[in-house]
Amino acid sequence: MQIQLLPSSFDDQGSANAAQRLTCFVIDDRVTVDAGSIGIALNEAQRRTIRDVVVTHPHMDHIASLPIFVDDLFGELRQPVRIHATSEVIELLKADVFNDTVYPKFDELRNEHGPVMEYVPFQLGQEFQVAHLKLTAIAVNHIVPTVGLLVSDGKATVAFSSDTAETEELWHVVNHARHLNALFIEASFPDSMEGLAKASKHLTPSMLRAELNKLNHNGMDILAVHLKPAYREKVIQELNELGIEKLRVMEPGRIYKW
> What are phi and psi for residue 217, nearest 5 degrees?
-75, 150
* Distance, CA of 223 to CA of 236 (rounded, Å): 12
* Neighbour-count burial of 128, counting CB atoms closer than 10 A to its CB (0-12 exposed, 13-18 middle, 19+ buried): middle
How far is it, in rounded angstroms, from Cα 158 to Cα 168? 17
pLDDT given at position 65: 98
Which phi and psi angles does 236 have, rounded to 5°?
Answer: -60, -45
pLDDT digits (tens, 9 = 90+) for 71-80: 999 999 999 9
Let me know: does 163 contact 171? Beta carbons within 8 Å.
Answer: no
Predicted TM-score (pTM) of the model is 0.96
Query: Who's near 164: CB < 8 A, 6+ residues apart?
Result: 140, 141, 142, 146, 148, 170, 186, 201, 202, 203
Q: What is the pLDDT along the chain (258 residues), one digit of tens a residue?
A: 999 999 998 877 777 889 999 999 999 999 999 999 999 999 999 999 999 999 999 999 999 999 999 999 999 999 999 999 999 999 999 999 999 999 999 999 999 999 999 999 999 999 999 999 999 999 999 999 999 999 999 999 999 999 999 999 999 999 999 999 999 999 999 999 999 999 999 999 999 999 999 999 889 999 999 999 999 999 999 999 999 999 999 999 999 999
Q: Which of 72, 94, 190, 176 is nearest to 127 (CA)?
A: 176
pLDDT at 11 (0 to 100): 79
pLDDT of residue 14: 75
For residues 103 and 97, the answer to whether their CB atoms sit within 8 Å is yes
Instruction: Return the SS3 of 222.
Output: strand
Q: Tell me, what's the pLDDT at 13?
A: 77
CB of 16 closer than 8 Å to CB of 9: yes
* Chain length of the chain: 258
